[in-house]
A and B are shown apart, each in its own frame.
Chain A
Amino acid sequence: MPPAIEVVNLRKRYAGTVAVRDVSFSVEQGEIFGIVGPNGAGKTTTVECIEGLRHADGGTITVLGLSPGREHDRNQLRQRLGVQLQDSGLPERLRVGEALRLYSSFYDNPADWRELMSVLGLTDSESKRFGKLSGGQRQRLSIALSLVGRPDVVVLDELTTGLDPQARRDTWALIEGVRARGTTVLLVTHFMEEAERLCDRVAVIDAGRVVALDTPAALAAAADTEQRIRFRPATAFDDSLLTSLPDVTRLERHGEMVTVTGTDNVVNAVTSVLASHGIVAEQLRVDQASLEDAFVALVGRLSNIQEGTPDVR
């Protein structure tokens, strides 16, 4: 099966600045593929080239065997590529139902927009104006509009920005449902938790280049050099009891909590020593490296992605 999206050596320059230096990746059909990276890394520019909104300066892009840079291909692609942009782009006075009906009239083989509206929990808001919708409702409408043409590939940019935790989880479930239907999903996000939970594979982009590309678990594992365990000892003990162990590299105390860092075997070593000394470890927690740790290790800048501000185009 040919890949749904193939990007090879993509390059894009704006007046004075290079937005995308060298980006290559391919997205398999039926995959949920994530693009993560700090602000200004070139994520949005990359997907805009894929969507055909911008012309690449160099490299090749193929989406469903078509080239978004060529006008004839682009027209065919519009029928098969669903897009959610960072800003929703609807007139304030347009109602939810009207927007869905209007957009469904654009496609040869549209979904039943009423059904889609109900799946996205927008039926109660059908006659509500776009300008009066809450952030979550807007986001859901914008997802619905990206799906109304029954696309083979859907590109979602900053899917859950501005949503509360519950709405975010609902949206994730929705995207998994979209994939279950066979749609390929390309997801731009700055929430590591989102990428970890949803994506089959993730490309980390920094300063216009792909700095890592793998499954979230593999990325986390690669960044993981140390294990950490945290607990509250029921009885006091001397630090040297644990620091003398070869697997332990560091021990810190914060109030009653003890944090021990070490090699892969540190959990085993520490728990067996504690057990043999009759020290009960309460609230024991083992920290596993997450995609977020991997991201920090790769990019070295977490602060600006946690602010939650979408890229400035």
Chain B
Amino acid sequence: MSAEITAVTARPAAGRKSPLRTLTQTEFVLFVRERTGPAWAVGFPVLLLIIFGAIPGFRKPVIAADPQLSVLDSYVPILLAFALAMISLNVVPPVLAGYREKGVLRRLATTPVGPFRVVAAQLLVDAALAAVSMIIVLLVARLGYSVPFPRQAGGFVLAIVLGGVALLGLGLLLASVATTSRAANAAGAILFFPMMFFAGLWLPIAAMPKVLQHISHITPLGAAVQAMTDAWQGTFPHPLQIVALACYAVALPVAAAKLFRWE
């Protein structure tokens, strides 16, 4: 064996991919290999859409409110928020806390790329998966149930981007403070349900009592759903929602970056 190792040759550096690219590909492969992860995170929002679409009353226009929107229409922004929350709260925290727990970050700290890039790679993969999950919901809603695309596209994209940054930031924050993958998983699940409640998953925001509506409008997902709903109806989102989302989109990632422990 000793004779052989002296012969191990150098590989020319030319044509090598950047480490971030290789890391991102690796993170994606690892995510897919998890099997239940992708199926659940990407498939569940669209499955929920199909279930809601099968309920007869959901496709009729709502008489009292805006005549253009059916119950199903009003559920699409909620399902988009749901897709975002699935990835941000149920995937990001356990994966990254697990990387710290298992010494993956520490091992990378001894290499030229450092531990930061693997976190970046993981967040890139998660953002892409959230985007794919949301695009699937939008397309199935449009093609399968004739739900129109949002009429105020700029306001819609702004709401999605701010909401996405805020939610991924929240996921990262949970990964920062949780010491184990298990704890991070639990923290994500505990936040998931109240946040989805205020996003209107069980009770549409418009149907909530006034107090709950006010609370909803300043939660990250509630603000995102309200902003998206505004955009659907053709108006630019209310400044309150945009300001709330922007605050979260700045504060949560900054807090996560400050609190993140590499080991």
Query: What is the interface of chain A, defined by CB distance below 8 A to chain B?
Result: 51-53, 75, 78-79, 81, 83, 85, 87-94, 98, 101-113, 115-116, 119, 147, 149-150, 170, 173-174, 176-178, 180-181
Contact = CB atoms under 8 A, between A and B. Distances in A.
A90 B107 contact: yes
Contacts of A52: 110
B215 interface: no
Interface stretch (B26-34, B63-71, B86-94, B206-214): B26-34
Nearest to A87: B103
Contacts of B113: 106
A98 B16 CA distance: 15
B111 A78 contact: yes
B107 A88 contact: yes
B1 A119 contact: yes
Given A119-B5, A174-B2, A89 B29 contact: no
Nearest to B10: A109
Contacts of A110: 10-11, 13
A178 B5 contact: yes
Interface of B: 1-11, 13, 16-19, 22-23, 26, 29-30, 33-34, 99, 102-114, 263
Contacts of B105: 89
Nearest to A155: B110
13 contacts: A53-B109, A53-B263, A78-B112, A79-B112, A88-B103, A88-B107, A89-B104, A105-B18, A107-B111, A119-B4, A119-B5, A174-B1, A181-B6
B6 A180 contact: yes
Nearest to A176: B2
A295 B5 CA distance: 32
A102 B3 contact: no
A177 B112 contact: no
B112 A91 contact: no
B63 to A, nearest CB: 51
A177 B6 contact: yes
A104 B3 CA distance: 22
Contacts of A104: 11
Contact of B19 (A85, A91, A106, A177): A106
A52 B107 CA distance: 12
B8 A115 contact: yes
A23 to B, nearest CB: 20
A181 B107 contact: no
Nearest to A86: B103
Contacts of A79: 112
B1, B5, B17: residue with the most chain A Cβ atoms closer than 10 Å:
B5
Contacts of A170: 1
Given A110-B10, A112-B10, A91 B110 contact: no
A109 B13 contact: yes
Contacts of A178: 5
B5 A177 contact: yes
Contacts, number: 112
**Across the A-B interface, the 5 shortest Cβ-Cβ residue pairs:** A89-B107, A177-B2, A89-B103, A177-B5, A83-B110
Nearest to A175: B2
Given A85-B107, A98-B29, A102-B22, A112 B1 contact: no
Nearest to A90: B104
B111 A111 contact: no
Query: Of A91, A92, A98, A176, which is in contact with the most chain B CB atoms at under 10 Å from its CB?
Result: A91
Given A92-B102, A103-B111, A180-B6, 17 more contacts: A78-B110, A78-B111, A79-B112, A83-B107, A85-B110, A88-B103, A90-B107, A91-B102, A105-B18, A107-B111, A108-B13, A109-B10, A110-B13, A112-B8, A115-B9, A147-B5, A147-B8
A89 B16 contact: no
Contacts of B10: 109-112, 150
Given A105-B17, A180-B6, A91 B30 contact: yes
A102 to B, nearest CB: 5
Contacts of B103: 85, 87-89
Contact of A94 (B17, B18, B30, B109): B30
B6 A75 contact: no
A12 B98 CA distance: 28
Nearest to A115: B8
A89 B8 contact: no
B30 A111 contact: no
A249 B99 CA distance: 60
A46 to B, nearest CB: 15
Contact of A53 (B1, B26, B102, B110): B110
A94 B26 contact: yes
B26 A173 contact: no
A75 B2 contact: no
B76 to A, nearest CB: 34
A101 B23 CA distance: 10
Contact of A105 (B22, B29, B110): B22
